[in-house]
Structure 1
């Protein structure tokens, strides 16, 4: 038997993994969403028993989901203590913004000739402005994340989309511990609209300049707020 036939034959042994892995991925999707929405805040220990019973999944499936989310840097496993929602360090926040600047600005630089398909960006801006009128600052944060995810989606790259999904999910871990979400998010609504209008006018260079200023100011504001919280927790 050749190497190819032997390898294919061995795949039969892996068949049970298919159902378990797909279930684990679905569980990871649920937990990822809950973490992003703040139901499981940074620093909280995740109970295998409680979550397993709530979702009706086995311990092995749940541990595989935990492993996936640990790989995404949303969870951390502490020996003899369990699995916790990750608490970012200030250096993590700064690194996230370095990555955002590299990726988001490269996407805008690489846009072809206008017009661009901006429906999702338009919807995200409208959602953010509506949430602000309703004083729903969590909604503003969600709309803001949606805007920047859809901005990157203009590149039409599944790999870049996946990268940014992870980066923005990590970023929300920092958002959830900031004391004043209005101060953090409201000033950037008008900047999102300005970026959108620059792209609508077919001016990606202007949009990139606005995006650089946005990311630099957002990083400084979040690092200041987050750094104060981390320093307070350490005293």
Structure 2
């Protein structure tokens, strides 16, 4: 579990609890279709069930959770149309953040750190960890725009994207090719070649989108009818 929300009152605690659950989604520790058991999750996060329910409402509004009458709250599973839309929005946000970033931006340290950790986890065969560092890499790219509102919007988008990723059978197939792609983008950024880095990111998205959709189609083809 992620760290418990900091002690607070009212709406602030509800927002912090929603953020903690969103972090669990981004880290791949909550899976599409998984039912969220209120007593266990409230205890793990150190909040009341009323606070948890209010945070569920926020995340249901964001499309990350679903409530099924008489059954409970479940993690949403994105469909193909949603995945395509996620990539469309990622191009707008990430490429512009990179293209407009100042050379030698101090936020590049976080970009480098995420890639370095991903390389170490890849060598250790921890593919879920590689996926988490990939999320951090892209969040660090968005942070180069110096916009808290954009970073908040992107966190929701990342949670949706991770839900799409964890439905796939082979995280190695999904993440392995992109570790070195991330290193190449970092090298361009370190050289101050922001436009080229944004162009490389666009090609990256095209390849990543095709990889995800191909994996989904392959999973459908092998699923028992």
With the length of structure 1 as denominator, give the TM-score of the two structures: 0.85
The structure with more radius of gyration: 1
Aligned-partner Cα distance in 1 for 2:78–2:58? 18
- In terms of fraction of residues, the more helix-rich structure is 1
- Partners of 1:167 and 1:195 in 2: how far apart? 21
CA RMSD, 1 decimal = 2.0
Residue aligning to 1:88: 78
1:186-205 to structure 2, matched below 5 A, reads 186-205=176-195
| Cα distance between partner residues in 2 of 1:115 and 1:45 | 44
CA contact (8 A) 2:93 2:142 kept: yes
Change (3 A) 1:145 1:39: closer
> Structure 1 residues 98 and 212 mapped into 2: Cα distance closer, same or farther (>3 Å)?
same
The residue number in structure 2 matching 1:11 is: none
CA–CA distance in structure 1, aligned partners of residues 223 and 71 of structure 2: 20
* Counterpart residue number, 2:68: 78
Count of equivalent residues: 217
SS in 2 for 1:76: strand
Q: Tell me the distance in 2 between the aligned counterparts of 1:212 and 1:64.
A: 38
Gaps of 5+ in 1: 1-17
Give the one of 48, 51, 65 matched to 2:41.
51
The SS at the match of 1:83 is strand
Q: Which residue of 1 aligns with 2:4?
A: none
Q: Secondary structure at the match of 1:77?
A: strand
Conserved? CA contact 2:28–2:128, under 8 Å: no
Q: Which structure 2 residue ranges, 5 or more long, are not aligned?
A: 1-7
1:115–1:33 CA distance, 2 compared to 1 (3 A):
closer
